[in-house]
Homo-oligomer: A and B are copies of this chain.
Amino acid sequence: MGVKLTDVAKKAGVSATTVSRVINHYGYLSQKTIDKVHKAMEELNYQPNSMARSLQGKDTQLIGLIFPTVSHPFFGELASKIETKLFEKGYKTILCDSADNKEKERDYLKMLAANKVDGIIAGAHNLGIPEYQNVELPIISFDRYLAEGIPIVSSDSYQGGRLATEHLYQRGGRKIAILTGTNESNSPTNQRLEGYLSVLKERDLEPIVYHFPPDHSPFLKSTEIRQILSRKDIDSIFCTDDLTAILVLNKAQELGLEIPGDLKVIGYDGTTFIQNYFPQLSTVLQPMDQFVDLLIDLLMKRINHANAELDKLYQLPVKFVQGQTS
């Protein structure tokens, strides 16, 4: 057990700093150097023990990730990209699917605090979690207000709502409905509705707003969408997420509605998954890669300097993507 980092350095013919950089995936290193160090580590059976490092008061190199669920393509993609980028920086990711379960989210925060993770990225949808106020860890929020002093990374939902609605108007839509969530959460996402309302006001059109509670199953949503479409009193629908837009397209097909002739449909999110498997869907594209970069950059700032001055809200731009449904 007496193998030290300096033994590895000697064996590999590099400096101890270089070995440390290889272990911590830090700084520029040639593949040749990386291979040499790995080879020496293997030959000496040297294993950097992050728990041991943590005992010495150094970081455990763990980041907690709290999202509603990675079974949703948007959060699956976000979590996958965050995990990959954190790994490149030498961090491992503890996954918490809060599953819209407030007690689980609270338990998780306590467990993460007790385990002394280095930081947390949280984008859960539960409300009223006082622990966020009390947990003394660097936390960055994705798209949700969590507590005073926790910066939010988001995209320009107001502009996204405007882009989608204005596009539907330009394509001839005059009876434009919006299908969105309930406004219970104090989230920048609600601004999509505000953007929609602002365009309708400018165009002197009547808003047609449908709210779906977050606990509605896709089946229940589908049933309600079918009722809405059966009334045939709208010509356009802006869905504030792509999956709801897919349900609308499915029900429109069942009812024999022609897309976009009888009904124009626009979604929201534009994940790689949707672009690959539903390229026909018009949607508002959220900047996934920029979210990942910014969330991690801000978290690293807070990890390195607990009092780093950060903005309250970072809003990244969105893009409209024209498909064949509008």
Contact = CB atoms under 8 A, between A and B. Distances in A.
Interface of A: 47-51, 54-55, 60, 62, 65, 69-73, 76-77, 79-81, 83-84, 87, 92-97, 99, 104, 107-108, 110-111, 113-116, 217-219, 243, 246-247, 250, 272-273, 276-277, 279-280
Q: Give the copy number.
A: 2
24 contacts: A47-B110, A50-B114, A51-B54, A51-B60, A62-B94, A69-B80, A70-B76, A70-B80, A71-B77, A72-B76, A73-B73, A80-B97, A83-B96, A84-B97, A87-B108, A92-B96, A92-B111, A93-B94, A93-B95, A94-B94, A94-B95, A95-B95, A217-B276, A246-B277
Nearest to A34: B103
Contacts of A243: 277
A76 B71 contact: yes
Contacts of A96: 83, 87, 92
A50 B115 contact: yes
Contact of A73 (B71, B79, B95): B71
A97 B95 CA distance: 11
Which interface residue of A50, A93, A276 has the most chain B CB atoms within 10 A? A276
The 9 A-B residue pairs whose C-beta atoms are closest, nearest first, are: A76-B76, A218-B276, A71-B80, A95-B95, A71-B77, A70-B70, A47-B114, A70-B76, A71-B76
A115 B247 CA distance: 44
B273 A49 contact: no
B76 A99 contact: no
Contacts of A280: 250
Nearest to A101: B84
A73 B250 contact: no
Contact of A99 (B73, B84, B92, B95): B84
Contacts of A97: 80, 83-84
A104 B25 CA distance: 11
A248 B136 CA distance: 51
A289 to B, nearest CB: 13
Given A92-B94, A94-B93, A113-B47, A71 B108 contact: no
B277 A247 contact: yes
A220 to B, nearest CB: 11
Given A55-B55, A76-B70, A115-B51, A250 B277 contact: yes
